[in-house]
Amino acid sequence: MVKIRKTKKSELKKLARFMKEEFGRSPYYEKWTDKTSMDKIKEYDKLYNIHVAFVNKKIAGFVVSLLECYYDANKIFIHELVVGKKFQGKGIGKSLMREIEKVGKKKKADTIYLMAMKKAPAYKFYGKIGFKENKTITMEKKIK
């Protein structure tokens, strides 16, 4: 049974560890340290909403989202979704995203947006739960 609620400050350290571990692996190989991952989570806590999933009172994963208002409707942007290795494949990612859909509907949002790497397993996961590619692409310009 998965329980989901907004995070508490006392949980941020654990979320940082999840982020460091899960994005340190294939296909991401991101080099987060204890400090940089904690700084990132603190930034998320300050600027966005963090929902945490619990299984038997243990943290199993979290999702970071932002509700933005646009001229026509509100929109939700997913900034991070992480399920701990031990808890993957048990429906927790799906439950977290379903919770965001619930929150979004309550706040009169019409769409959820996110970025995903096409080659990452998460791409298939997002497809499974109803996400489709749209016509927008990410553009970048290196300045260093």
Ligand X SMILES: CC(C)(COP(=O)(O)OP(=O)(O)OC[C@H]1O[C@@H](n2cnc3c(N)ncnc32)[C@H](O)[C@@H]1OP(=O)(O)O)[C@@H](O)C(=O)NCCC(=O)NCCS
Binding site for ligand X (CB under 6 A): 22, 81-83, 88-94, 116, 120-122, 124-125, 128
CB nearer to ligand X: give 35 or 91. 91
State the angle between helix axes of 34-47 and 12-24 in degrees (0 to 180), rounded to the nearest 10. 120
Give the closest residue to 117 by CA, choosing from 81, 91, 143, 83: 81
CB nearer to ligand X: give 63 or 103. 63
CB of 29 to ligand X, least distance (A): 12
Give the closest residue to 59 by CA, choosing from 36, 85, 31: 85
How far apart CA 71 and CA 76 sit, in angstroms, is 14
CB nearer to ligand X: give 71 or 138. 138
CB nearer to ligand X: give 91 or 105. 91
Q: Which residue is nearest to ligand X (CB)?
A: 93
38 in Cβ contact with 31 (< 8 Å): no
CB of 76 to ligand X, least distance (A): 15
